Each structure stands twice: as C-alpha cells, then as structure tokens.
C-alpha cells in the first residue's frame, strides 16, 4: 500500500515537469505573422494618406494658378479667339494652362473653359490635369455700351464671373513628396 501512495505522489510531479513553460515555436511564428500583416496594412494606409495630401496640395495650387490667369485676363482685358496654351511657373511648379473660348448668346460675352495641368519640363509633357475652371469673359467696352443703351443703373465694373470646379482627371498619378 505504501508503494501505491508513493506512486500517486510521483505522478503529479512528473506531469508538472512535462508541461512546457512559455510559448511554442508555432505560437511565436503565428504572432509574428499577424504583426507583420498589421504593419504592412498600416504602412499602406500611411502611404495613401501621404499621396492624397500631396495631391490635394497640388490641386489647391492649380486652382490658384487658374484664378491668377482669370485675373490676368481681366486686367489685360483679353478677348480670346479659339484656343490658347501656355506654360507658367507659379507656386513652385511648372503648369500648362489650356484655354478654349466658346460663343454665348450675347456677342459681348464669351465662355472660357480653362484647364490647369502639372507640366514636366524635363520630359516636355503634361503630367496630369488638376483643375478645370469655366468663366464668362465680358468684352472690354461692352459694359459702356450696356450703360448707354439703358437708363442709368448699377452696372458692375467686374467683367468676369467665375464658376470654379476642381476635377480629378488622372487617378493614376503617383505623387512624390
């Protein structure tokens, strides 16, 4: 009987020694794989956020370039015939401005469709259209004719009314900081 009792006491001791302490290799590898997937996902999200921020900054700059071009046309009282393209350097970038004039109901007003694109001088090509603007250009002297044709009224000195619209036209553009 004594042998039986002594064997029972030894069994739990042996079981305790056989139980491993810590993690198995498979558990460690699985944890590392999960951590690696999470790190890759966070890195991808961070890169997408950075690219979206850079594109937003470029679109804002392109909008300023378009507004500056409208102001320049107003100051110079420019009447556009057909199409015009030019490159300008502004906001630390080189831009291509494409303008196209269209007739309206009034012979003294023209519709101008303007597109501002990022321009790469080294490759001499347009990279991406970043802003589109439509505005209506009043021919110089037309406001004087309108004033003389009617009774005196409040005639605005502002000769251009702009409707701004920012448009993504090339989603494949990869921007670098």
Q: Which of 127, 100, 114, 98 minimizes the C-alpha distance to 165?
A: 114
Find the range with the poorest average confidence among 3-7, 76-80, 100-104: 3-7
The token pair at 47 is 């890169």
Q: Which of 153, 117, 149 minimizes the C-alpha distance to 132?
A: 117
Let me know: does 87 contact 98? Beta carbons within 8 Å.
no
Domains delineated in the chain: 27-138 (3.30.1300.30)
Q: For 146-166, give the DSSP string.
A: HHHHSSS----S--EEEEEE-
Which of helix, strand or coil describes residue 143? helix
177 contact partners, CB below 8 Å, separation of at least 6: 50, 54
- Give the range with max mean pLDDT: 2-11, 96-105, 160-169: 96-105
pLDDT digits (tens, 9 = 90+) for 102-158: 999 998 899 999 999 988 888 888 887 788 888 888 887 655 544 444 343 333 334
Helix H or strand E encompassing 10: helix 2-18
| DSSP code at position 32 | H
Helices marked H in 19-89: 25-75
Average pLDDT of span 76-101: 90
164 contact partners, CB below 8 Å, separation of at least 6: 63, 66, 67, 133
In this structure, the chain runs to a length of: 177
Rounded Cα distance between 62 and 68, Å, is 10
Rounded Cα distance between 162 and 5, Å, is 99
């Amino acid at each position: 009987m004594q042998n039986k009792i002594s064997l029972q006491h030894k069994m739990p001791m042996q079981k305790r020694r056989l139980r491993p302490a810590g993690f198995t290799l498979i558990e460690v590898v699985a944890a590392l794989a999960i951590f690696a997937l999470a790190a890759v996902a966070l890195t991808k999200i961070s890169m997408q956020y950075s690219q979206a921020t850079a594109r937003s900054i470029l679109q804002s700059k392109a909008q300023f370039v378009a507004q500056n071009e409208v102001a320049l046309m107003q100051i110079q009282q420019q009447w556009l015939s057909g199409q015009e393209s030019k490159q300008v350097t502004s906001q630390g970038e080189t831009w291509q401005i494409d303008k196209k004039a269209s007739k309206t109901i009034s012979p003294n007003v023209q519709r101008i469709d303007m597109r501002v694109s990022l321009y790469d001088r080294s490759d001499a090509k347009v990279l991406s259209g970043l802003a589109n603007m439509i505005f209506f250009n009043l021919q110089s002297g037309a406001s004087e004719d309108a004033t003389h044709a009617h009774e005196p009224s409040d005639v605005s000195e502002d000769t251009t009314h702009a409707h701004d619209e920012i448009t993504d036209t090339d989603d494949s553009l990869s921007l670098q900081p």
